[in-house]
Amino acid sequence: MSDTIIKSARNTTKAAQDIGPYTQSVAFSHYNNISAQLPIVPDSGILIGGDIKAQARQCLHNIKGIVESIGHTMDDLVKVTLFLQDIGDLDAVNSVYRDFFPHVMPTRTVLAVAALPLGARVQMDALLSNGEGTFPQAPCPLVKLSRSSERAPHDPLSTQSVAFSHYNNIGAQLPLDPASGALVAGGIREQAAQCLSNIKAVLEHIDVPFDDIVKVTIYLTQLADLEAVDEIYRTFFPDSAIARAVAYLPARSVIAASALPLGARVQMDAVISHGDGTPPQLVEDRHNLVIRARNTDKAPRTALSTQSVAFSHYNHIAGQLPIDMSTGKVLTDCVREQTAQCLTHIKAIVESIGHVMDDIVKVNIQLANIEDLAEVDAVYTRYFPDYLPARTVIGVSELPAGARIQMDAVMSNAESTPPLI
């Protein structure tokens, strides 16, 4: 019998099936990735009738159906990402959302997007703690640590930081002044600095260095603001002498939002390495795990992001655009060719570190035109011959370099990361 940790991909009839090439839930080690759930009635396979509250409730029922089908409860959720067609629907969605989390709230990211599959008004995906691990790991009664700091803004429907095992997820940070709860004065630079300062405050509260971040996602209402955001971003990364010595930068994705809560122009969330683990893991038992950041010349490099950042049993792959390696520009205007190019880049990154595409547990896709999804799927399935990963698809108003598609991914990392020598 192999002693390699095995990915567990599962579907249930308690949530919609056969509406796309994905698996509802893909577990590996101590986390379980849940595909974006549309407000589809499982029995009929069609969008639920009614208003935005009915759609939000159906999304959450579908997530709950998946969670319960694998022996978990909603309190085991670590993070929820909420995609809205109209940011004005957020209050109505929130009135439903709070009913599904009677105890501790998971972290949360909220944004409005240009379009959702099937014309839905809302979609949600989730990350679930998985204390039982995956075969052949023995179950471990790990504790989920939900924590908030007074030095960062509070949201009654989101915990700032939720750690489980060797990862910590930070809820999306808006550019809010923690003292006043209002948007910080100034323009996009001030807003970007406030988002990053809020993330840093959350990390300092739990005694985690800023350079323990493995992945950052930046949500912008105007991609034209990215250059100004990057000016600020460079002042935060790298943050320590050790990180500067190796020029460490986390993986990164940039996503165009149609709108953000409170009229913000930018928000950011982050995934953090957590070498201490969560109880009953002991600090001295963390095996001195280190972040492993790697690039390959077989995929495009970017100045402010590492292609692949591994920690413990997961590896985060930065957003990939359909860049032609020979020209450095976006490949043609054909969405099928662009899809193949994005996946070829991901495959090159995956294979450069000794993995295969079937080790991917989650893929996130952003499309400039949601109507392209069928064309994308025709190419997408050729890259996953055995197991389809979990997946989230959104339509966005624009993509960097005028691309029609962008993808990022999360990969299982059975070999874990090396101890500090």
Each residue of 12-30: pLDDT tens digit? 999 998 889 999 999 999 9
pTM: 0.97
Q: How far is CA 385 from CA 21, 150, 354, in A?
A: 11, 48, 18
- pLDDT, residue 109, reads 98
Strand ranges of the sheet holding 266-273, from the earlier edge strand across to the other edge: 145-147, 161-164, 167-173, 266-273, 213-220, 251-256
Q: How far is CA 33 from CA 87, 102, 271, 276, in A?
A: 25, 22, 14, 22
Q: Contact 275/286 with Cβ under 8 angstroms?
A: yes
Does 33 have pLDDT greater than 50?
A: yes
Q: Could you tell me how many residues make up the chain? A: 421
Residue position matching structure tokens 């204390």: 131
- pLDDT, residue 285, reads 59
Does 287 have pLDDT greater than 60?
A: no
- pLDDT, residue 270, reads 98
Does 288 have pLDDT greater than 60?
A: yes
- pLDDT, residue 284, reads 57
Distance from chain centroid for Cα 295: 20
Percent over 90 (pLDDT), the chain: 91
The CB density around residue 246, as the number of other CB atoms within 10 Å, is: 11
Instruction: Find residue 164's DSSP bridge partners.
Output: 167
Q: Is 184 helix (H, G, I), strand (E, B) or coil?
A: coil
User: What CA–CA distance (Å, rounded) separates 130 from 140?
Assistant: 9
Q: For residue 271, what pLDDT band results from cuts at 50, 70 and 90? A: very high
Q: For residue 420, what pLDDT band results from cuts at 50, 70 and 90? A: low
Per-residue pLDDT, averaged over 126-131, amounts to 98
Per-residue pLDDT, averaged over 354-383, amounts to 98
Q: For residue 386, what pLDDT band results from cuts at 50, 70 and 90? A: confident
Does 55 have pLDDT greater than 90?
A: yes
User: What CA–CA distance (Å, rounded) separates 368 from 114?
Assistant: 8
Does 122 have pLDDT greater than 90?
A: yes
Q: Which helix (H) or strand (E) holds 69?
A: helix 52-69
Q: Which residues contact 72 (CB under 8 A, 6 or more apart)?
A: 32, 128, 129, 130
- pLDDT, residue 1, reads 38
Q: How far is CA 307 from CA 210, 214, 328, 416, in A?
A: 19, 11, 16, 17
User: What CA–CA distance (Å, rounded) separates 144 from 127?
Assistant: 13
